[in-house]
Amino acid sequence: MRYNPLQSGFRFLNFTFYLLLLGTLLITSCKNSTTSHDIPGNGNSGRIISFSGYDWLVKSSSSTISGTAAPGNNYFSDSTENVWTDKNGWLHLKITNRNGKSFCAEVALLRPLGYKKYIFQVNSRIDGFHPNVVGGLFTYLDGTDNAEEMDLEFSRWGDINKATNAQYSIQPSDSIGNTKSFRLTLNGDASTHLFDWKPQKVDFASYHGHWASPPADSNLIINKWTYSGKNIPVNQNGKIHINLWLFQRGKIDPNDHPEAEMVIKNFQAL
């Protein structure tokens, strides 16, 4: 057969086009495959855990340019050293120190639940945190400022001499009447904290022990507060978050590496 350079060139181009097409299909297939570490639209690589019958996204700041994220410009890790559930099904959030860095922890529900009573049964001494540690139980609408946010927070906000170490707040929390601070002194590991979110008001409460409804013994009531002001959040599909982080991380003594752990026995949305 006589050699035809034009025909050979066409064969080469066809083969090259085939390879390019195959490569494109493979890349597209990889992008479209979803694993527990790649949830479309969340903008945050992390693993999913199950706790109290719900699925939660574990926060990681490793994909950000600085390696940190809000709140507090902290390092957040989705490592099992920072977030895990134990054999009882209880959720553990822990601040750990690795290679000179403190890694914080946060989880968020994968779906919004709207107006409900949210009950958190805590099983750790949140009243004894390092002054710069903050434990938070709250609602938050991602990608917004002060939208649909109600907070239960345990912290002395960097002040070792601060008389209060817990607060209920509605954002913006610096508005007069939007925050109720109080002293939390537990008599053991067990405590219950809740907010009952309705369109016309938000009721907060904290109790000694674990309860699904208010205890009959008034001595078990740590604090209560009702907010009915102008900043009651409107339901816009914000989600429940639980976090443990460092306030004013940059001001903490470099030789002081605070570690802390917060354990949630159970979560309910009624």
Domain for residue 72, yes or no?
yes
Domain for residue 179, yes or no?
yes
Residue ranges making up the domain that contains 242: 48-269
Q: What is the pLDDT of residues 234-263, one digit of tens each?
A: 999 999 999 999 999 999 987 888 999 999
User: Phi/psi zone of residue 16: left (φ > 0), alpha (ψ -120 to 50 degrees), beta?
Assistant: alpha
Residue 146 has a pLDDT of: 58
pLDDT exceeds 90 at position 270 = yes
CATH of the domain at 264: 2.60.120.200
171, amino acid identity:
Q
Average pLDDT over residues 35-64: 74
pLDDT exceeds 80 at position 28 = no
Q: What is the pLDDT of residues 113-165, one digit of tens each?
A: 999 999 999 999 999 999 999 999 999 998 766 578 999 999 999 999 999 99
* Whole-angstrom distance, CA of residue 37 vs CA of residue 222: 40
Domain for residue 18, yes or no?
no
DSSP 202-264: EEEEEEES--SS--S-GGGEEEEEEE-STTPPP-SS-EEEEEEEETTGGGS-TT----EEEEE
Q: Read off the tokens for 14.
A: 């066809």
In this structure, how many other beta carbons lie within 10 angstroms of the beta carbon of residue 96?
Answer: 18
Give the single-character DSSP code of 8.
H
Query: How does the average pLDDT of the chain come out, rounded?
Result: 86
End-to-end CA distance of the chain: 82
pLDDT exceeds 90 at position 25 = no
- Beta-carbon-side half-sphere exposure of residue 233 (alpha carbons within 13 Å): 30
Structurally, how many domains does the chain consist of? 1
pLDDT exceeds 80 at position 8 = no
Residue 189 has a pLDDT of: 97
Domain for residue 65, yes or no?
yes
Residue 45 has a pLDDT of: 54
Domain for residue 32, yes or no?
no
Work out the widest C-alpha separation in the chain, in whole angstroms.
102
Domain for residue 219, yes or no?
yes
Q: What is the pLDDT of residues 212-226, one digit of tens each?
A: 999 999 999 999 999
Average pLDDT over residues 81-93: 98
Domain for residue 7, yes or no?
no
pLDDT exceeds 60 at position 7 = no
DSSP 166-206: EEEEESSTTSTTSEEEE----SSSEEEEEEEE-SS-EEEEE
100, amino acid identity:
G
Contacts of 12 (CB under 8 A, 6+ apart): none
Domain for residue 143, yes or no?
yes
52-84 burial: b if 16+ Cβ within 10 Å, else e: bebebbbbbbeeeeeebbeebebbbbbbeebbb
DSSP 94-130: EEEEETTEEEEEEEEESS---S-EEEEEEES-GGG--
